[in-house]
Protein backbone atom coordinates (compact mmCIF):
# COMPACT_ATOMS: atom_id res chain seq x y z
CA UNK A 1 0.00 0.00 0.00
CA UNK A 2 1.34 3.44 -0.99
CA UNK A 3 1.52 5.90 1.89
CA UNK A 4 1.31 9.66 1.49
CA UNK A 5 4.58 11.09 0.20
CA UNK A 6 6.64 13.54 2.25
CA UNK A 7 8.60 14.61 -0.84
CA UNK A 8 7.33 15.30 -4.33
CA UNK A 9 10.63 14.36 -5.98
CA UNK A 10 13.71 12.54 -4.72
CA UNK A 11 16.60 12.53 -7.20
CA UNK A 12 19.78 10.50 -7.48
CA UNK A 13 22.21 12.54 -9.54
CA UNK A 14 25.62 14.01 -10.13
CA UNK A 15 26.84 16.69 -7.72
CA UNK A 16 28.70 19.01 -10.07
CA UNK A 17 29.81 22.62 -9.97
CA UNK A 18 29.51 24.26 -13.41
CA UNK A 19 32.32 26.59 -14.48
CA UNK A 20 30.87 28.66 -17.33
CA UNK A 21 32.86 30.78 -19.77
CA UNK A 22 32.14 32.42 -23.11
CA UNK A 23 34.22 31.10 -26.00
CA UNK A 24 34.61 31.42 -29.76
CA UNK A 25 34.22 28.67 -32.35
CA UNK A 26 37.96 29.08 -33.03
CA UNK A 27 38.71 28.30 -29.37
CA UNK A 28 36.67 25.08 -29.60
CA UNK A 29 38.61 24.12 -32.73
CA UNK A 30 41.95 24.87 -31.06
CA UNK A 31 41.01 22.72 -28.06
CA UNK A 32 39.55 20.00 -30.34
CA UNK A 33 36.16 20.24 -28.66
CA UNK A 34 33.01 19.03 -30.43
CA UNK A 35 30.56 21.93 -30.35
CA UNK A 36 27.34 21.23 -28.46
CA UNK A 37 28.59 17.95 -26.99
CA UNK A 38 29.23 16.67 -23.47
CA UNK A 39 32.55 14.86 -22.98
CA UNK A 40 33.97 13.14 -19.93
CA UNK A 41 37.50 14.25 -19.08
CA UNK A 42 40.13 13.29 -16.52
CA UNK A 43 41.69 15.50 -13.85
CA UNK A 44 44.66 16.50 -16.04
CA UNK A 45 42.44 17.59 -18.93
CA UNK A 46 40.18 19.47 -16.51
CA UNK A 47 43.17 21.45 -15.24
CA UNK A 48 44.34 22.13 -18.81
CA UNK A 49 40.96 23.41 -20.00
CA UNK A 50 40.45 25.47 -16.84
CA UNK A 51 43.83 27.11 -17.42
CA UNK A 52 42.97 27.95 -21.04
CA UNK A 53 39.40 29.18 -20.52
CA UNK A 54 38.52 32.85 -20.17
CA UNK A 55 36.84 34.55 -17.18
CA UNK A 56 34.30 32.16 -15.69
CA UNK A 57 31.33 31.91 -13.31
CA UNK A 58 30.97 29.04 -10.86
CA UNK A 59 27.40 27.83 -10.41
CA UNK A 60 26.25 24.58 -8.84
CA UNK A 61 24.93 22.20 -11.46
CA UNK A 62 24.39 18.55 -12.25
CA UNK A 63 21.38 17.47 -14.30
CA UNK A 64 19.22 16.02 -11.53
CA UNK A 65 20.20 18.84 -9.17
CA UNK A 66 19.15 21.43 -11.76
CA UNK A 67 15.80 19.68 -12.13
CA UNK A 68 15.25 19.72 -8.37
CA UNK A 69 16.23 23.40 -8.19
CA UNK A 70 13.57 24.21 -10.78
CA UNK A 71 10.96 22.01 -9.10
CA UNK A 72 11.72 23.55 -5.71
CA UNK A 73 11.28 27.04 -7.19
CA UNK A 74 7.88 25.85 -8.42
CA UNK A 75 6.92 24.89 -4.86
CA UNK A 76 7.75 21.20 -4.84
CA UNK A 77 9.35 19.47 -1.84
CA UNK A 78 12.58 17.83 -3.00
CA UNK A 79 15.53 15.81 -1.72
CA UNK A 80 18.81 14.92 -3.41
CA UNK A 81 21.10 11.91 -3.13
CA UNK A 82 24.51 12.82 -4.59
CA UNK A 83 28.18 12.72 -3.68
CA UNK A 84 30.61 15.59 -3.09
CA UNK A 85 34.09 15.68 -1.56
CA UNK A 86 35.22 17.52 1.55
CA UNK A 87 36.61 20.49 -0.42
CA UNK A 88 35.71 24.03 -1.47
CA UNK A 89 33.55 23.08 -4.45
CA UNK A 90 31.80 20.48 -2.29
CA UNK A 91 30.90 23.20 0.20
CA UNK A 92 29.72 25.47 -2.62
CA UNK A 93 27.50 22.72 -4.01
CA UNK A 94 25.99 21.76 -0.64
CA UNK A 95 25.31 25.40 0.25
CA UNK A 96 23.65 26.17 -3.09
CA UNK A 97 21.42 23.09 -3.10
CA UNK A 98 20.25 23.64 0.50
CA UNK A 99 19.71 27.36 -0.11
CA UNK A 100 17.26 26.35 -2.85
CA UNK A 101 15.20 24.51 -0.23
CA UNK A 102 16.33 21.00 -1.18
CA UNK A 103 17.21 18.44 1.48
CA UNK A 104 20.75 17.09 0.97
CA UNK A 105 22.32 14.95 3.70
CA UNK A 106 24.86 12.62 2.03
CA UNK A 107 28.17 12.93 3.94
CA UNK A 108 31.14 14.18 1.85
CA UNK A 109 34.03 11.93 0.90
CA UNK A 110 37.62 12.74 1.83
CA UNK A 111 39.33 15.34 -0.35
CA UNK A 112 40.32 12.85 -3.07
CA UNK A 113 38.88 12.48 -5.60
CA UNK A 114 37.70 16.10 -5.60
CA UNK A 115 34.14 17.31 -6.16
CA UNK A 116 33.02 17.04 -9.78
CA UNK A 117 33.15 20.04 -12.05
CA UNK A 118 31.83 20.73 -15.55
CA UNK A 119 33.73 23.21 -17.71
CA UNK A 120 31.14 24.77 -20.03
CA UNK A 121 32.08 26.86 -23.06
CA UNK A 122 29.21 28.98 -24.42
CA UNK A 123 29.62 30.19 -28.01
CA UNK A 124 27.92 33.33 -29.40
CA UNK A 125 25.07 31.20 -30.82
CA UNK A 126 24.27 30.09 -27.20
CA UNK A 127 25.39 26.51 -27.80
CA UNK A 128 27.11 24.97 -24.79
CA UNK A 129 30.02 22.57 -25.04
CA UNK A 130 30.48 20.67 -21.79
CA UNK A 131 33.55 18.91 -20.45
CA UNK A 132 32.89 17.01 -17.25
CA UNK A 133 35.31 15.69 -14.66
CA UNK A 134 33.10 13.43 -12.56
CA UNK A 135 35.40 13.20 -9.54
CA UNK A 136 33.64 12.29 -6.31
CA UNK A 137 30.23 11.91 -7.98
CA UNK A 138 31.43 8.62 -9.52
CA UNK A 139 31.76 7.19 -6.03
CA UNK A 140 28.21 7.56 -4.78
CA UNK A 141 27.77 4.22 -2.97
CA UNK A 142 24.56 2.19 -2.67
CA UNK A 143 24.93 2.74 1.10
CA UNK A 144 24.06 6.42 0.48
CA UNK A 145 20.62 5.40 -0.75
CA UNK A 146 18.30 5.94 2.20
CA UNK A 147 15.40 3.52 1.76
CA UNK A 148 13.15 5.64 3.94
CA UNK A 149 13.93 8.72 1.85
CA UNK A 150 13.20 6.94 -1.45
CA UNK A 151 9.99 5.49 -0.03
CA UNK A 152 8.84 8.94 1.07
CA UNK A 153 9.14 10.49 -2.41
CA UNK A 154 6.22 10.44 -4.86
CA UNK A 155 8.68 10.37 -7.78
CA UNK A 156 12.24 9.02 -7.94
CA UNK A 157 14.13 10.97 -10.63
CA UNK A 158 17.28 9.50 -12.19
CA UNK A 159 19.75 10.89 -14.73
CA UNK A 160 21.43 8.82 -17.43
CA UNK A 161 24.64 10.80 -16.96
CA UNK A 162 25.26 8.89 -13.70
CA UNK A 163 25.08 5.46 -15.33
CA UNK A 164 28.79 5.37 -16.30
CA UNK A 165 30.27 4.42 -12.94
CA UNK A 166 29.59 1.14 -11.14
CA UNK A 167 28.77 2.47 -7.67
CA UNK A 168 26.20 5.09 -8.74
CA UNK A 169 24.66 2.61 -11.18
CA UNK A 170 24.18 0.16 -8.31
CA UNK A 171 22.80 2.99 -6.16
CA UNK A 172 20.24 3.88 -8.84
CA UNK A 173 19.26 0.25 -9.39
CA UNK A 174 18.67 -0.06 -5.63
CA UNK A 175 16.67 3.17 -5.66
CA UNK A 176 14.44 1.85 -8.45
CA UNK A 177 13.74 -1.37 -6.52
CA UNK A 178 12.84 0.55 -3.35
CA UNK A 179 10.61 2.99 -5.24
CA UNK A 180 8.77 0.17 -7.01
CA UNK A 181 8.36 -1.76 -3.76
CA UNK A 182 6.60 1.26 -2.26
CA UNK A 183 4.42 2.05 -5.27
CA UNK A 184 6.33 5.19 -6.28
CA UNK A 185 6.85 6.48 -9.81
CA UNK A 186 10.30 6.28 -11.41
CA UNK A 187 11.28 9.03 -13.86
CA UNK A 188 14.41 8.70 -15.97
CA UNK A 189 16.15 11.11 -18.35
CA UNK A 190 18.34 9.70 -21.12
CA UNK A 191 20.55 12.80 -20.65
CA UNK A 192 22.66 12.74 -23.82
CA UNK A 193 23.19 10.72 -26.99
CA UNK A 194 26.61 9.63 -25.72
CA UNK A 195 24.89 8.08 -22.67
CA UNK A 196 22.42 6.25 -24.90
CA UNK A 197 25.22 5.12 -27.20
CA UNK A 198 27.20 3.63 -24.31
CA UNK A 199 24.28 2.15 -22.36
CA UNK A 200 21.51 1.56 -24.89
CA UNK A 201 21.01 -2.10 -24.00
CA UNK A 202 20.82 -1.39 -20.27
CA UNK A 203 18.47 1.59 -20.72
CA UNK A 204 16.28 -0.47 -23.05
CA UNK A 205 16.32 -3.28 -20.47
CA UNK A 206 15.04 -0.96 -17.73
CA UNK A 207 12.24 0.18 -20.02
CA UNK A 208 11.37 -3.32 -21.23
CA UNK A 209 11.25 -4.57 -17.64
CA UNK A 210 8.71 -1.90 -16.70
CA UNK A 211 11.04 -0.14 -14.27
CA UNK A 212 10.61 3.32 -15.84
CA UNK A 213 7.25 5.08 -15.60
CA UNK A 214 8.17 8.51 -16.96
CA UNK A 215 10.88 8.85 -19.62
CA UNK A 216 12.45 12.11 -20.80
CA UNK A 217 14.39 12.33 -24.07
CA UNK A 218 15.15 14.68 -26.94
CA UNK A 219 14.76 13.80 -30.62
CA UNK A 220 18.29 12.48 -31.13
CA UNK A 221 18.22 10.41 -27.93
CA UNK A 222 14.87 8.75 -28.60
CA UNK A 223 15.90 7.77 -32.14
CA UNK A 224 19.22 6.37 -30.90
CA UNK A 225 17.42 4.40 -28.18
CA UNK A 226 15.01 2.91 -30.73
CA UNK A 227 17.78 2.40 -33.30
CA UNK A 228 15.89 4.19 -36.05
CA UNK A 229 16.14 7.51 -37.87
CA UNK A 230 12.34 7.66 -38.12
CA UNK A 231 11.26 9.98 -35.28
CA UNK A 232 7.60 8.94 -35.27
CA UNK A 233 8.53 5.24 -35.23
CA UNK A 234 10.98 5.81 -32.36
CA UNK A 235 8.31 7.59 -30.33
CA UNK A 236 5.67 4.94 -30.99
CA UNK A 237 8.05 2.09 -30.15
CA UNK A 238 9.14 3.61 -26.83
CA UNK A 239 5.80 5.09 -25.76
CA UNK A 240 4.25 1.62 -25.81
CA UNK A 241 6.58 0.57 -22.99
CA UNK A 242 6.28 3.46 -20.48
CA UNK A 243 3.39 5.19 -18.75
CA UNK A 244 4.45 8.62 -20.01
CA UNK A 245 7.02 9.56 -22.65
CA UNK A 246 8.16 13.17 -23.01
CA UNK A 247 10.29 14.24 -25.97
CA UNK A 248 11.67 17.77 -26.24
CA UNK A 249 12.21 19.14 -29.75
CA UNK A 250 14.14 22.40 -29.20
CA UNK A 251 12.45 25.25 -31.11
CA UNK A 252 9.67 22.88 -32.20
CA UNK A 253 8.46 22.52 -28.62
CA UNK A 254 7.74 19.16 -27.02
CA UNK A 255 5.40 16.20 -27.04
CA UNK A 256 4.08 13.82 -24.41
CA UNK A 257 2.56 10.41 -25.11
CA UNK A 258 0.34 8.87 -22.45
CA UNK A 259 -2.28 6.13 -22.80
CA UNK A 260 -1.75 6.17 -26.56
CA UNK A 261 -2.60 9.87 -26.83
CA UNK A 262 -0.02 12.37 -28.07
CA UNK A 263 -0.06 15.96 -26.79
CA UNK A 264 2.16 18.63 -28.33
CA UNK A 265 3.02 22.20 -27.34
CA UNK A 266 5.08 24.89 -29.02
CA UNK A 267 8.23 26.28 -27.48
CA UNK A 268 7.70 29.38 -25.34
CA UNK A 269 9.02 32.60 -26.87
CA UNK A 270 12.45 33.81 -25.74
CA UNK A 271 13.66 37.32 -26.57
CA UNK A 272 17.32 36.33 -26.64
CA UNK A 273 18.85 32.90 -26.09
CA UNK A 274 21.97 33.32 -23.96
CA UNK A 275 22.93 29.81 -22.80
CA UNK A 276 21.12 26.51 -23.44
CA UNK A 277 22.71 24.81 -20.41
CA UNK A 278 19.99 23.18 -18.32
CA UNK A 279 17.13 23.57 -20.81
CA UNK A 280 16.23 19.88 -20.65
CA UNK A 281 16.71 19.77 -16.88
CA UNK A 282 14.34 22.67 -16.30
CA UNK A 283 11.84 21.28 -18.78
CA UNK A 284 11.72 18.12 -16.68
CA UNK A 285 11.28 20.25 -13.53
CA UNK A 286 8.31 22.06 -15.00
CA UNK A 287 6.71 18.94 -16.42
CA UNK A 288 7.03 16.97 -13.20
CA UNK A 289 5.70 19.89 -11.17
CA UNK A 290 2.55 19.88 -13.30
CA UNK A 291 2.39 16.08 -13.20
CA UNK A 292 2.46 16.09 -9.39
CA UNK A 293 -0.40 18.62 -9.41
CA UNK A 294 -2.29 16.20 -11.74
CA UNK A 295 -2.62 18.85 -14.42
CA UNK A 296 -3.53 17.93 -18.02
CA UNK A 297 -0.62 16.86 -20.22
CA UNK A 298 -0.77 20.10 -22.22
CA UNK A 299 -0.31 22.17 -19.06
CA UNK A 300 2.51 19.91 -17.82
CA UNK A 301 4.33 20.42 -21.11
CA UNK A 302 3.66 24.17 -21.07
CA UNK A 303 5.10 24.54 -17.55
CA UNK A 304 8.14 22.63 -18.78
CA UNK A 305 8.47 24.97 -21.75
CA UNK A 306 8.13 28.04 -19.50
CA UNK A 307 10.90 26.79 -17.18
CA UNK A 308 13.17 25.91 -20.13
CA UNK A 309 12.60 29.31 -21.76
CA UNK A 310 13.54 31.09 -18.52
CA UNK A 311 16.78 29.19 -18.01
CA UNK A 312 18.08 29.69 -21.57
CA UNK A 313 17.59 33.46 -21.26
CA UNK A 314 20.61 33.78 -18.94
CA UNK A 315 23.89 32.05 -18.04
CA UNK A 316 23.69 29.02 -15.77
CA UNK A 317 21.31 26.12 -15.35
CA UNK A 318 19.39 27.35 -12.31
CA UNK A 319 16.30 29.58 -12.59
CA UNK A 320 16.74 33.27 -11.76
CA UNK A 321 13.15 34.47 -12.25
CA UNK A 322 10.12 33.44 -10.17
CA UNK A 323 8.89 30.40 -12.09
CA UNK A 324 5.67 30.18 -10.08
CA UNK A 325 4.85 33.74 -11.11
CA UNK A 326 5.66 33.03 -14.77
CA UNK A 327 3.42 29.95 -14.74
CA UNK A 328 0.62 31.84 -13.00
CA UNK A 329 0.73 34.63 -15.59
CA UNK A 330 0.74 32.13 -18.46
CA UNK A 331 -1.81 29.59 -17.21
CA UNK A 332 -3.69 31.44 -14.47
DSSP states of 224-281 as a string? HHHT-S-HHHHHHHHHTTSSEEEEE-GGG-EEEEETTEEEEEPPPP-S-----TTHHH
Percent of the chain topping pLDDT 70: 99
pLDDT on residue 140: 96
pLDDT on residue 3: 67
More confident residue, 2 or 89: 89
pLDDT on residue 4: 82
What mean pLDDT is predicted for residues 284-307? 98
* Strands 56-61 and 116-122, sheet pairing: unpaired
User: Does the pLDDT at position 73 exceed 50?
Assistant: yes
More confident residue, 306 or 274: 306
φ and ψ at residue 306, rounded to 5 degrees:
-65, -45
Q: Beta partners for 214?
A: 187, 244
φ and ψ at residue 22, rounded to 5 degrees:
-80, 145
Q: Beta partners for 244?
A: 214, 258
What mean pLDDT is predicted for residues 297-318? 93
Express the helix, strand and coil content of the chain in percent, nearest 5 each. 45, 25, 35
Return mean pLDDT, the chain.
94
pLDDT on residue 277: 80
**Cβ density class 90-118: b for 16+ within 10 Å, e for less:** bebbbebbeebebbbebebbeeebbbbbb
pLDDT band at 317 (very low <50, low <70, confident <90, very high): confident
Per-residue pLDDT tens digits for 4-57: 899 999 999 999 998 999 999 999 999 999 999 889 899 889 989 989 999 998
Burial status of residue 241 (CB atoms within 10 A of its CB: 0-12, 13-18, 19 or more) = middle
pLDDT on residue 219: 97
pLDDT on residue 1: 38
Beta-carbon contacts of 293 under 8 Å, excluding residues fewer than 6 positions away, are none
User: Does the pLDDT at position 2 exceed 70?
Assistant: no
pLDDT on residue 316: 79
The dotted CATH code for 7-15+63-105+138-331 is 3.40.1190.20
Per-residue pLDDT tens digits for 242-276: 999 999 999 899 999 999 999 999 999 998 888 88
Give dist(CA 303, CA 216) in Å, integer.
Answer: 15
Amino acid sequence: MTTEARYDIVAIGNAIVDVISQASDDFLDEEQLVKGSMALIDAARAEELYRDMGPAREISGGSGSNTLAGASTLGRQCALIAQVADDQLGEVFAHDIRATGIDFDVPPLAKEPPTARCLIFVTPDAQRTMNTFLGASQFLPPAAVDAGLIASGAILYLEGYLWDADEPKAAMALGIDIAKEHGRKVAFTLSDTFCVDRHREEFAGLIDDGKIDILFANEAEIMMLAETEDFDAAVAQTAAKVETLIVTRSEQGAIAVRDGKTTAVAAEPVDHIVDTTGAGDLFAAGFLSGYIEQRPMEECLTIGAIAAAEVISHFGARPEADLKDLVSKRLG
